[in-house]
């Protein structure tokens, strides 16, 4: 019988794990739950930050506006939904904001098309 010990690396912000230190270091830098996250898509550029109209909303589904980074918008939605259950002034629970998988894929495709067009100009 053979036994083998190995090192497993885990993200400090979520439950993800990996056997490779380099891949876990890359994940931690871009982890959606990391408060000091650096977006690999827009590099935290101020002009691509989401305007996130959801802060005044009580429910609904959103999409990225022109020029907004879809990954940064997803992070804003996750942080908004993880704030805990709160009650608004009327005494009703504030519901979650949704950013569907299809809308995210469409926004990422639009982002790629837009950045490719800008790089060709």
pTM for this predicted structure:
0.73
Res 93: pLDDT:
64
Per-residue pLDDT 10s for the chain (121 aa) are: 999 899 999 999 999 999 999 999 999 999 988 989 999 888 888 888 887 655 545 456 777 777 888 888 888 888 877 776 666 666 666 667 788 889 889 989 998 888 888 777 7
Residue 77: phi and psi, rounded to 5, are: -65, -45
pLDDT at 7: 93
Domain boundaries in the chain?
1-38, 44-120
Q: Is 27 helix (H, G, I), strand (E, B) or coil?
A: helix
Contact 38, 30 (CB under 8 A): yes
33, 81 contact by CB (below 8 A): no
Torsion angle (degrees, nearest 10) of CA 116, 71, 42, 30: -130
Question: What is the DSSP annotation of 55-96?
Answer: GG-SSEE--PPTT--HHHHHHHHHHHHTT---B-TTSPBP--
């Amino acid at each position: 019988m053979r036994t083998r010990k190995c090192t497993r690396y885990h993200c400090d912000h979520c439950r993800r794990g990996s056997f490779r230190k380099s891949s876990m270091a890359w994940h931690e830098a871009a982890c959606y739950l990391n408060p000091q996250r650096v977006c690999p898509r827009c590099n935290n550029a101020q002009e691509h930050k989401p305007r996130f109209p959801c802060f005044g909303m009580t429910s609904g589904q959103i999409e990225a506006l022109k020029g907004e980074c879809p990954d940064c918008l997803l992070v804003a939605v996750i942080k908004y939904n993880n704030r805990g259950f709160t009650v608004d002034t009327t005494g009703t629970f504030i519901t979650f904001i949704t950013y569907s998988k299809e809308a995210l894929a469409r926004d990422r495709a639009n982002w790629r098309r837009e950045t490719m067009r800008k790089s060709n100009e």
